[in-house]
Amino acid sequence: MYFLIIFKIQDNIEKELSSERRKMDITFVLPARCISYIISLTTPRDASRLSLACPAFKSAADSDSVWEKFLPSDYKEIISNSSSISASSLMITSLSKKDLYFYLCHNPILINNHTTSFSLMQETGKKCYMVGARGLSIAWGDSPQYWNWLSLQESRFPEVAKLREVWWFEIIARIETRILSSKTNYGAYLVFKFVKSRQGFDARPIEFDVYFEGSNNHKRRSALLDPPTNVSPQLSQDRGDGWTEIEMGEFFNENGDDGTVVCKLCESGSVQKRGIIIQGIELRPKYGK
């Protein structure tokens, strides 16, 4: 008899404590729609973490209404410009917004007739673009005696440019600022690799210039693309995808107004050069800036 009374008392206490906990738990105070809205004001990283907090948070944090906010406002237009129309339609209609977000982070899509790739930076959802070799202005690029065009499995583009031999080395990319994320500090990176029989890129530095077209405020820098291993620091970095990159410069995209960013590299033509393969020039946000 006493055990039954004690059990009932304990059961009542647990019910009261559970009721108090429920009152203090935001998931029972606020409707799921409000929780989703609050989470949408955070970041993709925060939303991913909150989805692991509890079942109620997971449902809200994984909702389309949250991840729609993290996608660029013009993502449908960008995807519809994909070189594969059927694939772009499938992405928009079949994937959840969260799955679409992470797909775009890890699988750059080709746009502008296979000359440009688009992806998202996973931490922030900001836009990343790479202008492929076919979208670049390459001095003597249309002359087979100087440049070859070939396909490589490790390239995201159908074609890359392989240098046979030149004295004058110049490559230019032009990107409209309106397609980039606003209020964002971007870095521009040359994406390339060498073949074994290379020449000339360890002799004289390449000059890099990243600037807004029409501006006189240029901040040029120079670096050897193929420095000796004992030279420090090594400015070229392995990307982990079979390619190497070197930062050409950076710029701040304020409001994304109509304008053009020019990314240029050149060498004066005093040294014969050969043996470099160009995949493209990538513009991506500099993390934390």
Residue by residue, DSSP assigns the chain as -HHHHHHHHHHHHHHHHHHHHHHH-HHHHS-HHHHHHHHHTS-HHHHHHHTTT-HHHHHHHTSHHHHHHHS-TTHHHHHHTBS-HHHHHHHHHHS-HHHHHHHHHHSPEEETTTTEEEEE-TTT--EEEEEEGGGSEETTTT-TTTEEEE--TT-SSS-EEEE--BSSEEEEEEEEGGGSPSSEEEEEEEEEEEEEEEESTTTSPEEEEEEETT------EEE-SS--TTSSS---EE-SSS-EEEEEEEEEE-S--S-EEEEEEEE-S-S-BEEEEEEEEEEEEPTT-
Enter the pTM of the model. Answer: 0.85
Tell me, yes or no, whether 131 and 234 share the same domain: yes
pLDDT at 84: 66
Tell me, yes or no, whether 23 and 158 share the same domain: no
Query: Looking at the domain assignment, is residue 202 inside a domain?
Result: yes
Tell me, yes or no, whether 199 and 136 share the same domain: yes
Tell me, yes or no, whether 135 and 269 share the same domain: yes
Query: Looking at the domain assignment, is residue 91 inside a domain?
Result: no
Q: Which of residues 54, 69, 84 is at a domain's end?
A: 69
Please tell me the total count of domains within the chain.
Answer: 2
Which residues make Cβ contacts (< 8 Å) with residue 275, sequence separation at least 6? Answer: 163, 194, 195, 196, 197, 198, 199, 201
β partners of residue 263 = 173, 210
Query: Looking at the domain assignment, is residue 79 inside a domain?
Result: no
What domain range is 280 assigned to? 108-285
Cα within 13 Å of Cα(253), Cβ side: 28
CATH number of the domain within which 3 lies = 1.20.1280
Closest to 134 in 3D by CA, of 242, 263, 281, 273: 281
Query: Looking at the domain assignment, is residue 96 inside a domain?
Result: no
pLDDT digit string (tens) for the chain, length 289 residues: 433 333 343 455 345 445 544 444 555 556 667 877 787 888 888 888 877 776 767 888 888 999 999 999 999 999 988 866 556 666 777 899 999 999 999 999 999 999 999 999 999 999 999 999 999 999 999 999 999 999 999 999 999 999 999 999 999 999 999 999 999 999 999 999 999 999 999 988 999 999 999 887 778 899 999 988 877 777 899 999 999 999 999 999 998 888 999 999 998 777 899 999 999 999 999 975 4
Report residue 97: phi and psi, to 5°: -65, -35
C-alpha 284/C-alpha 223 separation (Å) is 20
Q: Are 180 and 285 in contact (CB under 8 A)?
A: no
pLDDT at 97: 94
